[in-house]
Amino acid sequence: MIISKLHLPLNDNNGVELTEVHAKLKRAIVKIFNGCTVTTGQGVWMDKGKIYDEPVAIYEIAHWGAEYKIKQFMELVHEYGARANQLAVYCVIDKHATIIDIVKPFNSRPSPSRPNTK
């Protein structure tokens, strides 16, 4: 099995709580992957000289690394990143971290590369 993680802010960029977005995301994850672990954290980064610091929910999902499961995870990342009005979100797939640009259509982004584990 592999672990995929999505870090999604608890509030949108205008400070509005995303309680319903997170509730829907949890239901979607359970429907697709049968469960997850949710913890909270703090996301801190710099963009154009400004420091951003915000609370995030971290969704950790254990699943078989089949390509269709990774695609389902990436579809959730894009959909719920958009629902949360984010420009980009941070996620990890099988220990490979990436920033997903939510502005671009999902199909225009390349799939995350995975190392050969054989």
Among the CATH numbers 2.40.50.140, 3.90.245.10, 3.30.70.120, 3.40.50.1100, which is that of 2-108?
3.30.70.120
| pLDDT higher than threshold 50 for residue 32 | yes
Listed by start position, the domains of the chain span 2-108
Query: Could you give the C-alpha distances from 86 to 15, 35, 38, 52, 77, in angstroms and in order?
Result: 12, 24, 19, 13, 11
**pLDDT of 108 above 70:** no
Show Cβ contacts of residue 11 under 8 Å, excluding neighbours closer than 6 positions.
Answer: 17, 18, 54, 55
Secondary structure of residue 109 in the 3-state scheme: coil
What are the angstrom distances between the C-alpha of 118 and each of 62, 114, 115? Answer: 20, 12, 9
- For 5-19, the pLDDT digits (tens) are 999 999 988 899 999
Digit-coded pLDDT (tens) for 39-74: 999 999 888 999 989 999 999 999 998 999 999 999
- Sign of the dihedral defined by the CA atoms of residues 86, 60, 73, 31, in that order: negative
pTM of the model: 0.84
